[in-house]
Each structure stands twice: as C-alpha cells, then as structure tokens.
Structure 1
C-alpha cells in the first residue's frame, strides 16, 4: 500500500478523539440550558468519554500484538459507529453519557492501533516524518470540526453531529477492511497473560519517564477543550458558530506546529524541538496569567502559542517514546495513549469546575505543566543520555 494511502488512513484513525470531542463542543452550552443540568454534569460526556477511552487503550494494544491490528480495528470501529448513532437518539444527559462511553470503548482502537501500525510499517526515520505529517493532517479535525458543529447546530440540531460521526466511522471501517495486516509476527504470550507486556513497560524506566514527560505537555490542551465553550459562549457571549472559528484558530496552531516540526527537524535535533515545546508552554501560560482579558483574543492568542508548542513537540516526543521498546509495540503505543488521555481527562475535569476566572486557571496549568515537563525532560536528557 503506497505511503500516501497509509497516511490518509492513519490520519483518519488518529483523528477519532478530536472528531468525537471538538465537533460536539459547540452543543454543550445549549445542552446545559435545554436539559437544565450543571456544566460539570454535561461535561461528563467529555470526561467519561476520555476515562473509558484511555482504559480501553490498554486492552487493544496487547490483544493486537497477539491477534493482529486489522481485526481489532474492525471490532472497535464497529462499536464506535453503532454508539454514535445511539448518541444521536439520546433523550437526556444520562443516556448521552452512557452512549458516549460505549463510543469511547470502540474509538479507542483507532488512535491506539494507528501508532502501532505506523511502528509496523515504517522505520524510525520515516516514522518520525509520517507522525509529523499526521500531526498536520489530524490538526485539521479540531480546526474544522467545531466550525462544522456550529453550522450543524444553527441549521439542524446537535443530534446530526453524531450522525455525521457515525458516517465517518463507516468510512474508517471500510478503509481498515481494505488494508493488509501489518503485524509480521504475532506475540507468543499465552492468552491468560495478554497484559504481561505492561509489566515489561513499567520496568522500562526510560519509556515510563518519557511517557510521563509527554503526558505533562498535554495537560493545558485538554483543559482548554473542556473550558473553551463555556468561556467563549457563556462568559464572553459568542455564538456557537463564532466560537467554532476561535476554537479552529487554536487548532490551526497545532497544525502549524506540526508543520514547522517537519521543516525544523532538518536543522536541529528532535531533542531540542521537545525542549522548545516546553518553553512555549511556559511562555503561553505566563501570557494567559498576565492578560487583561478584555476580549476573546486575550484567550485565543496565548492559547495559540500553547497549541503551537504542543503541535511542535508532539511528533518527536511520541516517536522518542516508541523508540524505547523493542517488542510489544501495540502495548507500548496503547500505554502511551492511555497516559495522555488519563492526564487529559483529569485536566478536563479540573477545567470544568466552577472557577471564578477560568482563563487564569488555564494559564497557571499551562505554565506549571511547562515548567514541570521541562525540568523532567532536562534531567532525563542528562541522566539517560537521550
């Protein structure tokens, strides 16, 4: 299968989390009003999604090491499609939360095994380039999907968002059905010990340390996802469509960061790019803390810096983590995504709380995670010869 087709399929698979959250974000304030529920309860449709999503990431990886990537992807995406249509039929918040959790259980197969497939198909040098290109393509999903979601709400209803997600899932299912199996040699681990690969990962200090570092860098992005619709729509008073434009502006920064990474890694090392990413989080977070908050741009511009820094450092960070393992790539990719999504779910919950000044809280979280991540990263570079 040509590289371009692989990139297209992998981009769609890795876009599942962004498509499943950002397209739906403009609907949250209206659901709070229509169902007469507090924001934190409606946001359980986001937090619950990521908690279940991250838990199932741990399952798909080792099972795919034993049975192959293709069958696990087809099963997971099949559940995602069914759950998406059930979400569209939800009559209340509780049912939507439940169906979103089923949607998450299926969708977890996509992004988890996309990393494993990239590990199977490409060597280390080509894989970093592919991951960077995926970062550019995948960033289009959170950039465009809230705009599309705002249009759908304005012209139809929020239910159609999940109908469209189910349709995208069907396209991904057909793509996986046509792809060859990428796992060349299946794991010989007994069926009763599928999860034993995680024991090897936990004992791999370099892998675990780098996973922690990468997870710290994702915290401000997830917190922004949870708080952005409330800030822009409820607090500032923007419409759902205008909110989509502002959210897309920050998502564009992720894409731009990944694009710059594809050019910058020809000039400087991947390790230095990761360092630059953490410095960017500190700068953006400090800007948020000091901003006067007089307009929506007082949030959008500092978040642009934070999002750009995250997009810049994510491809080399993910690739460096995967380089630390020689076997069980599925489990390694799953545990990496589990760590990212678990820390992200905690950040989303924290950002959903009834803070008096959510913009200040976002700034503190970005600056703190940037400082903590930079310190841990520099220590690892010195002590582990990275």
Structure 2
C-alpha cells in the first residue's frame, strides 16, 4: 500500500475541525506522523552504533545504554511541561520551540567529546522531543472526531512505525561511510527540515487556557484524578516495558549474542518493525468484523503466548528469535489506535495535559524495561520473553476488569 493510498483513508467521514491553509489535510497528517516519529528516529537510528560507541568511548554497555535510558526518562519529564504549556500558549509556539532546541541538541550530540557529554546532550534532545510528540497527539484531538480520528490515528501510527524499519537500516548505512557522529548529524538535519514544515503549520487550538503557568501545569493533577483516564493509562502503558526492553537490547542480542554484522542486524530489526506498521492498518479492517474490546483482549493473549515462545526457544537462532517475537509486535501495534482514542475520549478538556500524561506514562514504563534488560543477565532473550508474557497477562487481567467499570466512558468502536 502506497503512502498516498494510506492518506486517502483520512479523507473519509467528516472534514477536520481545523483546516490548514498551507499544509492541507494530508499535509497535516504527514506532519503529525513525522512529529510522532521523533522518538523512534532519535533512538533507532543509532542502535547499530551502540557496540561501536562502547569501543570508541571505552565504556561499558551499561554506561552507553544510559544515552537511551536518560533520553526516555527526560523525555517523559519534558512531556509533562510541553503539553499543558501548549494548552496555554498554543500548539505552534511550543512546537517550534521544541524543534529548534532539538536541532541544536542533535548538533551538540554529534560533537560530544566523551560519553558523559553525550548523555547530557541527549537529555536536552529528549526534553525537546517531548514538545514534538505532545503537540502531535494534541493536534489529532483538536482537528478530528469520531471514526475519522481513529482513522487518522491508525494512519499516523503506521507511518510512525515506518521509522523503526528505516532508521536502523539508514543508521547502518551511515556507519559504513562515517562514525556514530554522522548519525547525530543526520538527526540535526531532520530536525531542521521538520522545523521548516512547522513554520507552515497553523494553530489548531480552539480555546487557550487563561490561568497562569503554574495553574496550567496544575491541570496535570486534574486529569490525573480522572479514574477512567488513569486506569486505562496504566493498563495500556504496561506493555511499554517489554517493548522497550527489546529496542534497548536488540543490537546486543543480534550483534554480540548471535554474531551478526550491524548491517544484517538492521535487516532483522526491520523485519520485526514491518509488523508495527501493519498492526494499526490491520485494526481498521479487523474492527469491521470484531468488537474493539475483543480485539484488545485477543492482542494481550497473543502477546502472552509470543512471550513464552521467545523465552523458551528464542535463543536457538536469530531467525527463531525474530519469528517468535513477531506475534507480540503485531499484537502490540494493533491496539495503538483504539487505546489512544479511548484515553483521549475520557478527558473532554485539557487535551495537552492528557497527552502529556499519556506520553510520560508510556515512557516511564518503557524506561523500566530498558533498565531491567540492561542488568547483567545470563540470557537477555529469556528475560525479555518473560517480560512480554508476564506483562501481557497482567494487562489482560486489568483490561478485563477496568473495561467494565462505570467510570470508564463508553466510546464508539
């Protein structure tokens, strides 16, 4: 399916509530997708370089992994500020501020003299990334409603998932001609180009929050007291733990444990990531025949079985590892559009604050997975598989209970 045909799915149903004079509807979807892709671009592009960076800096794998772990932790912190601030000052000013800071931080990363400088500059890069992703999801709610929103969320999720496919391959190609510094230089160029697109973006927020800055940030607490939103947020964020454990350890598993080259590793990673793209689009089709709640429950069960297979037989070969992990990858991406829409619909106002908490929660849980998998395990594959199985089972149990509670607002499938 081509990008144009994907974008055509967003032309169904009602028109967006906010029109874009320069970008148009399709251009807006593309911009949202690229903004949402900031995190996979900022992490997956340099995954093939992690082992080489450890050698270059003469640092341990755990220390190098801090460039990932600290990125996600401070990204989570950053989102808590950018979302509410976008409710007060508007989406565009916050977006442009974040994009400019991201571009500058990427340049600084490329010129890092040691691993500690790189970690610090990655922190700045992470905080800036929070502006892009917070604004992206808030704009979706600003501009679309009902089934149209689910359609846009599916398209954006799928286009966003292309980044994990392309990024490691591009990163491996860059490493053939330059060092890991070239990877961060590429991120700086990407940041600059998206900043240019952000200038053409027109404001989408209907009403600005009129309180002070501290009051604006205080809206996070108001949203956090919404039981329907928080319960779903916890349930849907748990699977970030095993997912990020894979992203963090994938290069070490394929390159160090299985002995593959950086280039071949990127192919295996891309193979798995392809199904991240298929999942959201597949949901749009499956939802025509099956109920949303059943799809979500089935996805958790599939992830549970997949995790067990990874744990017990995933160490046999790189091909077996990729194939056993594939069902969990597909199932996890399948639930992205309905879960995001369910959470957004629980909170009628304070969209920026709600989006901030969504991004923060997933990132915090993902960081837990990154820390767990970075410990000195004898076999990371077995641990990763158990994380998938255990967390999927817990999520299934929570979903079965919470989805029937009266405080969870019913939303059109």
TM range (shorter): over 0.9
Please give the alpha-carbon distance, in whole angstroms, between the structure 2 residues aligned to 1:49 and 1:332.
21
Q: How much has 1:222 moved relative to structure 2?
A: 0.4
Q: Are 1:256 and 2:278 matched, yes or no?
A: yes
Q: What residue in structure 2 maps to residue 157 of structure 1?
A: 179
Q: What residue in structure 2 maps to residue 112 of structure 1?
A: 134
Please give the alpha-carbon distance, in whole angstroms, between the structure 1 residues aligned to 2:190 and 2:322.
29
Q: Are 1:95 and 2:121 matched, yes or no?
A: no
1:168 to 159, 167, 190: 190
Q: What residue in structure 2 maps to residue 344 of structure 1?
A: 366
- 1:183 is paired with a residue of what secondary structure? coil
- Aligned length in residues: 386
Report if aligned partners of 1:113, 1:334 keep a CA contact under 8 Å in 2: no
Report if aligned partners of 1:81, 1:166 keep a CA contact under 8 Å in 2: yes
Q: Are 1:51 and 2:73 matched, yes or no?
A: yes
Q: Are 1:179 and 2:201 matched, yes or no?
A: yes
Report if aligned partners of 2:314, 2:324 keep a CA contact under 8 Å in 1: no
Please give the alpha-carbon distance, in whole angstroms, between the structure 1 residues aligned to 2:214 and 2:356.
19
Q: How much has 1:79 moved relative to structure 2?
A: 0.5
For the aligned residue pairs, the C-alpha RMSD in angstroms reads 1.1
2:381 to 342, 345, 359: 359
List gaps (5 residues or longer) in structure 2.
1-19
Report if aligned partners of 1:133, 1:262 keep a CA contact under 8 Å in 2: no
Inter-CA distance 295–105: structure 2 relative to 1 (3 Å threshold):
same
Q: What residue in structure 2 maps to residue 21 of structure 1?
A: 43
Q: Give a deviation string over 1:156-203, Cα, whole Å, max 9, x none.
A: 211111111111111111111101100011112233312221121121
Report if aligned partners of 1:9, 1:175 keep a CA contact under 8 Å in 2: yes
Q: What residue in structure 2 maps to residue 286 of structure 1?
A: 308
Q: Which moved more, 1:184-193 or 1:90-99?
A: 184-193
Q: How much has 1:379 moved relative to structure 2?
A: 0.2
Report if aligned partners of 1:68, 1:183 keep a CA contact under 8 Å in 2: yes
Q: Which moved more, 1:266-275 or 1:357-366?
A: 266-275
Q: What residue in structure 1 maps to residue 60 of structure 2?
A: 38
Q: How much has 1:330 moved relative to structure 2?
A: 0.5
Please give the alpha-carbon distance, in whole angstroms, between the structure 2 residues aligned to 1:95 and 1:191.
31
Q: What residue in structure 2 maps to residue 73 of structure 1?
A: 95
- 1:336 is paired with a residue of what secondary structure? helix
Please give the alpha-carbon distance, in whole angstroms, between the structure 2 residues aligned to 1:190 and 1:91.
40
TM-score with structure 2 length normalisation? 0.91
Q: Give a deviation string over 1:188-245, Cα, whole Å, max 9, x none.
A: 2233312221121121101000000111122211010111111111111111111111
- 2:316 is paired with a residue of what secondary structure? coil
1:304 to 313, 323, 326: 326
Q: What residue in structure 2 maps to residue 313 of structure 1?
A: 335
Inter-CA distance 90–262: structure 2 relative to 1 (3 Å threshold):
same
Q: Which moved more, 1:295-304 or 1:8-17?
A: 295-304
List gaps (5 residues or longer) in structure 1.
none
Report if aligned partners of 2:69, 2:371 keep a CA contact under 8 Å in 1: yes
1:229 to 248, 251, 254: 251
Please give the alpha-carbon distance, in whole angstroms, between the structure 2 residues aligned to 1:374 and 1:52.
29
Report if aligned partners of 2:91, 2:204 keep a CA contact under 8 Å in 1: yes
- 1:382 is paired with a residue of what secondary structure? coil
Q: How much has 1:7 moved relative to structure 2?
A: 1.0
Q: Give a deviation string over 1:365-384, Cα, whole Å, max 9, x none.
A: 00011001000000012223
Alignment of 1:234-249 (within 5 A): 234-249=256-271
Q: Give a deviation string over 1:58-108, Cα, whole Å, max 9, x none.
A: 001111101000000000110000010111111211111111111011111
Report if aligned partners of 2:209, 2:216 keep a CA contact under 8 Å in 1: no
Report if aligned partners of 1:276, 1:313 keep a CA contact under 8 Å in 2: no
Please give the alpha-carbon distance, in whole angstroms, between the structure 2 residues aligned to 1:302 and 1:56.
35
Q: What residue in structure 2 maps to residue 143 of structure 1?
A: 165
Q: What residue in structure 2 maps to residue 375 of structure 1?
A: 397
